[in-house]
Amino acid sequence: MKVLITDGMSKEGLSILEAAEGLELDVRKSTAKEELLEIIGNYDAVVIRSATKLTEDLIDAGKNLRAIGRAGIGVDNVDVPAATKRGIVVMNTPEANAITTAEHTITLMLSLARQIPQAHSSLKEGKWERSKFKGREIYGKTFGLIGLGNIGKLVAERALGLKLNVIAYDPFLSKEAADRLGVELVSLDDLLKRSDIITIHTPLTPETKDLLNKDSLQKTKKGVMIINCARGGVVNENDMAEAIKSGHVGGCAFDVFVNEPPEEGNPLLALDENVVFTPHLGASTEEAQTKVGLAIAEQIVDFLLNGVVKNAVNMPSVSLDVLKTIGPYLTLAEKLGSLQGQLCKGGVKEIQLQYDGEISELDTRPVTVSALKGFLAPMMDVVVSHVNAPVIAEERGIKVIESKSSQAKDYTSLITIKVKTDEGESQVAGTIFGTEEPRVVGINGLKVDVVPSGYMLVSENQDRPGFVGAMCTTLGDNGVNIGLLHLGRESIGGRAIVFTNVDSPVPDEVIEKIKNLPDIISVTQVNL
């Protein structure tokens, strides 16, 4: 079997692949797309880093391709749906560079506090400006983390070691899990008001885009320092530049940007003082590159030679025979989990999965993992896979309960997911229509019939004449095209729900207009 390595690999990783009997290596430091299109069909596996972009046409050209290995966390450069459609396993190394990123966060914080880059440049210019570069001591300061996932937890541990007062905002983390870390869990507004230093450790989602903007920055302490080694776009760069120029924000240190490299004219790069910038170096250490090389090499060997799947982002660790039977339920469970993850509010305490009917006779453990993956993915700062989803749930103090019944009243098989949070409970249920079409058939006690796909608005309202028309008019007047509508209600004039399929994401200002309609209870945008 042939393995192509396109972006180079650490010698430690190469040695593992070279020692594996039955594998033939082709190592290239870089490969142009045109060349890759011609040769990729000759290989059983390809190992990449960030430079190679495996688009749909490249994946389709890989006629013999069985596995894609990403030496690193992010799989943004891989068309995962295309690979999944072709039955190609996509694997990453989710934990190999977490420490490096956490250390870079602390490094940027200290560099910003003591103005290290500016002082260095001044000295190189022949100046001796001791009085100009008066820094700030961090001891005893309040350190606020936005996001307390895998990397956020490591940063918290290091901040505590520096004798900082650590607080965190994470709407999906239970208080008990935060207490075990020695971190005070607070609201976002509280974090903004109290923090002397703010660090970001959250994925870029519709909910986190521009999380720190003109309005939220005005809630912060005057002189606050803001660090971002997570994702560009969580901070509005224009608003941040203005806040620094006004003196309200004391400085920022960024490793990530909306566009990488930043476009000419980026207002942040025009600033000389109270800023520190690095070109996305969070994972760039010798140790991290060695770790990711070792990890992906071992995973490729295990898969090709032993049929073992580790750290897959698009399939569970099960045999192909079992996968054929439960495949549709894996998709259904992930969709239901994702819907719950995007709709639920508060710190998550418990997830209950009920399997009724024929599915209760199957091994449902991979199905449960798929549900956890779908649930956790929208809220995590790392790629959530079928492998790491249970570990992440355990680390966050989420209790997972399975129950089964051979009886399913209205369906051959039914999956119900109930989530308990600090703020209440929510429930969704789904089934398979035909042989493989997933359907949502219940939500919080209301019967529905929804194909979970694409962008959707999920709105709850009082059942009054004119509400659906008013909402559709609002969307249409603002250029949002509606694909499908799915309605459900508990009784005439009672609580009702509307699933609205739209062709593109609905702007925040349009959602605000819907929230102001008469009889509206809530509206949430989800992407399934």
Residues classed as catalytic: 231, 260, 280
Q: How many CA atoms lie within 13 A of 425 on its CB side?
A: 9
Backbone angles phi, psi at 356, to 5 degrees: -120, 145
Residue 191: closest CA among 180, 200, 179: 200
* SS3 call for 16: helix
Q: How far apart are CA 81 and CA 34, in angstroms?
A: 22
CA pseudo-torsion sign 361, 364, 367, 371? positive
Q: Which amino acid is at 38?
A: E
* Strands in 32-148 per DSSP E: 45-48, 67-70, 89-91, 142-146
Cα distances (angstroms) measured from residue 511 to each of 330, 338, 474: 31, 20, 9
- Tell me the longest C-alpha to C-alpha distance in the chain: 82
92: left (phi > 0), else alpha (psi -120 to 50), else beta? Answer: beta
With residue 249 as reference, give the H or E element that holds it: strand 249-254
Distance of CA 254 to the CA centre of its chain: 19
**Whole-number Å distance between alpha carbons of 25 and 5:** 8
d(CA 278, CA 109): 12
Where does 57-109 show beta strands of DSSP type E?
Answer: 67-70, 89-91
Strands 197-200 and 142-146: parallel
Asked whether 91 and 311 are in contact (CB, 8 A), the reply is yes
Phi then psi for residue 212, to 5 deg, are -100, 105
Q: What helix, strand, coil percent values describe the chain, rounded to 5?
A: 35, 25, 40
Q: Exposed/middle/buried for 28, CB within 10 Å: 0-12, 13-18, 19+?
A: middle
Spatial contact of 197 and 142, defined as CB atoms under 8 Å apart: yes
Going by their DSSP bridges, the two strands 437-443 and 446-450 should be labelled as: antiparallel
CA-closest candidate to residue 254, choices 191, 195, 212, 206: 212
Coil, helix or strand at residue 92: coil
Dist CA 297 CA 240 (whole Å): 41
Q: How far apart are CA 89 and CA 97, in angstroms?
A: 21
